[in-house]
Chains A and B, each alone.
Chain A
Amino acid sequence: MAVLNERERSKKPLSPWKSKKTSDKKAVAFPGVKSLNGRWGYLYVAPFVIMFVIFGLAPVFYSVYISFFHWDPLGTSTFTGFRNFNLLLHDSDLWLALRNTFSIWALSTFPQMFMAIGLANLLRNTRLRGKSFFRTILLVPNITSVIAITIVFSQLFGRDFGIINDFLGWAGLGHHIDFIEGVIPSHVQIATMITWRWIGYNTLIFLASMLAIPNELFESSSVDGASKWQQFRFVTLPQLKNTITFVLIVGTIGGLQVFAEPQQLAADGGSSKQFLTLTLFLYNQAFVNNKYGYAAAIGIFITFIVLIISAVNFVISRKISNDGTR
């Protein structure tokens, strides 16, 4: 397990979340090939397990250990107990970063989800020509690097010469909006970069699960005289429930990792730290200020947030599916 790919992995195609359920079932139902000597298994998983323990598991535990120390990279480190956590919870930057992270997350997740579902519904049309062309084009933004995206969008969003401001001025919606100094405008700028990068990807995910809906459902509903909108609302949407949950969770984990976009706009998170995110906060504490113990505590804080969100999601989706069966 490598940090290198973790950010990407959380957004990768085979959903760890939903697949987890299916694999649980399969792991139980699936006995392995009986006539093969199972002991070979140890040899085959050994390289993975060894690397996984060293580069995946050990750092997690070590992180907890470090967070109890005043960790000096050069001199001696001293055990300070919960001091890092105590300081952290009283650090106004933490709460500012939490606010910014959630604001950017909300601005990038919800509009994107509506648009992706709408786009997928358009692309589902079987008579559409050039299907695979559209699908492929949709994925282009996703392979573009965050740095390149930031360079382009920060120019497009420029205060004085950016064409987005030109357009807004022309439409009478505003004049020379500062998409860096303003709190909400800066969040909008970052959210736009994220949306552009991920919307096509999520559209494909929604499209795939729409195509998996049995055709009979649509046929019988149109026999019953349902309009296109009613079909979408009462046939398509309920079938997308799991996918929506999946996209939400992956988006949340990704949202907590937003780092390169704000860092490239301003390494310190802006003049009033208006777009300091949690991960940027962690990075700066560790690799700018050399406060490793403190930064490790921030990592643990972020983990707690992920766990809380997962738990909330678990409860909500349980509740929805219970309501459905009643």
Chain B
Amino acid sequence: MLVFLSIFPFYWMFVVASNTNAEISKSPPSLIPGGRFLIVARKVLSAQGVYFNSALLNTFIVGISIAVAQVIFSAIAGFAFAKLDFKGRKGLILFVIGTMMLPSQLGIIPLFLLVKNLHMIDTLYGLIVPALITAFGVFWMRQIIDAQIPNELLEAASIDGASVPRIFFKIVLPIVRQSGFVLGLFAFLAAWNDYLWPTIVLQSPRHFTLQVALTQLKPMYGLDYGLQMGGAFLATAPLLILFMFVGRKLVTGVMDGAVKG
């Protein structure tokens, strides 16, 4: 039952995308996939004014840039917050955590004006640059480094004459590699599925990400559910494939976070 409810909407996407509208609209509707999926997929990919292929590429570029940047910046800052004794450290991290309570709606209009002044409207930079760092990422890496790396290890290394950058690159990074990867995955998924911010920043269809491109199908093909579902399926399939490989890691990430919290 559980499996059924989790998977059914995907299955249904495929069923609708591969049948004619008539077969879906009759009562009871067809519940098995038909043979039209490739036709529908081709129609989605060649739809007038919708650039599905470039949307896929754009989404990959944005997702990977954000994921990589977040992991690197978060690891660096998280390390400092966890292990380096500098003045104002405590106050700063508490302040950062405090701002995580503020809803994103508060800053969204000034952020739009800022991105506009930086001439990044309708570019992928407009999506990537504001997302290079997050308070959450820094906070998460701080917790991880704090929990996984004993002080004694770093003490010993520094007594042996290792410098701070050397300790960071040779000791800290290898140990937190796994957790960093999970953080990167979450960042990638969030970027892939984000809709609100891309729909504000992007204007021309060639620059759209998948989610924004998907919303173009409805006004164009109003009642052709097959086409909309075909698009939804194509936009979700890459994540499902990725999920087959990393699903377990994500589960561990979610559950570890819950316990540590």
Contact = CB atoms under 8 A, between A and B. Distances in A.
Contacts of A211: 259
Q: By DSSP majority rule, is chain A's interface helix, strand, loop, or mixed?
A: helix
Contact of B103 (A151, A260, A306): A306
Interface stretch (A20-28, A181-189, A227-235): A20-28
Interface in A147-175: 147-149, 151-153, 155-156, 160-161, 163, 166
A289 interface: no
Interface stretch (A102-110, A129-137, A214-222, A317-325): A129-137
Contacts of A23: 93, 97, 139, 142-143
Contact of A147 (B86, B89, B211, B240): B211
Interface stretch (A88-96, A200-208, A268-276): A200-208
Nearest to B156: A35
Nearest to A155: B225
Contact of B105 (A39, A45, A132, A298): A298
B219 to A, nearest CB: 10
Contact of B111 (A12, A59, A201, A278): A59
A68 interface: no
A305 B136 CA distance: 22
A304 to B, nearest CB: 10
Interface string B127-147: 101111111101110110010
Nearest to B115: A55
Given A23-B93, A48-B138, A147 B190 contact: no
A56 B154 CA distance: 32
A163 B76 CA distance: 51
A308 interface: no
Nearest to B86: A41
A44 B169 CA distance: 13
A72 interface: no
A286 B236 CA distance: 30
Contacts of B93: 23, 27
A80 interface: no
B45 interface: no
A30 B149 CA distance: 13
Interface in A35-81: 35-42, 44-45, 47-49, 51-52, 54-60, 62-63, 66
Interface in B237-261: 239-240, 243, 247-248, 250-251, 253-261
Interface string B11-37: 011001000000011011100000000
Interface residues of B, number: 117
Contacts of A134: 2-3
A126 interface: no
B104 A7 contact: yes
B191 to A, nearest CB: 7
B108 to A, nearest CB: 5
A31 B79 CA distance: 13
Interface string B161-205: 000110110000000000000000011011111111100100000
Contacts of A204: 251, 254-255, 258
Contacts of A36: 83-85, 154, 158, 164, 167
Contacts of B85: 31-34, 36, 38, 41
A132 B66 contact: no
B191 A4 contact: yes
Given A139-B247, A139-B250, A2 B130 contact: yes
B261 A15 contact: yes
B50 interface: no
B99 A155 contact: no
B103 A302 contact: yes
Contacts of A4: 66, 127, 130-131, 190-191, 194, 197
Q: Max chain B CB contacts within 10 Å: which of A5, A22, A57?
A: A5
Nearest to A32: B85
A153 B232 CA distance: 12
Nearest to B217: A151
Given A5-B131, A16-B136, A35 B158 contact: yes
Given A2-B130, A34-B85, A44-B76, 7 more contacts: A9-B134, A12-B186, A13-B258, A44-B168, A49-B92, A55-B111, A55-B133
Q: Which 4 pairs from chain A and chain B are nearest by CB?
A: A13-B257, A41-B86, A59-B107, A6-B104
Interface of B: 2-3, 5-7, 9-10, 12-13, 16, 24-25, 27-29, 66, 73-74, 76-77, 79-87, 89-90, 92-94, 96-97, 99-114, 127, 129-136, 138-140, 142-143, 146, 151, 154-155, 158-159, 164-165, 167-168, 186-187, 189-197, 200, 210-211, 214-215, 218, 225, 228-229, 231-233, 235-236, 239-240, 243, 247-248, 250-251, 253-261
Interface of A: 1-10, 12-20, 22-24, 26-28, 30-42, 44-45, 47-49, 51-52, 54-60, 62-63, 66, 119, 132, 134-141, 143-149, 151-153, 155-156, 160-161, 163, 166, 196, 200-201, 204-205, 207-209, 211-212, 243, 246, 253, 256-257, 259-260, 264, 278-279, 282-283, 286-287, 292, 295-296, 298-300, 302-303, 306-307, 310
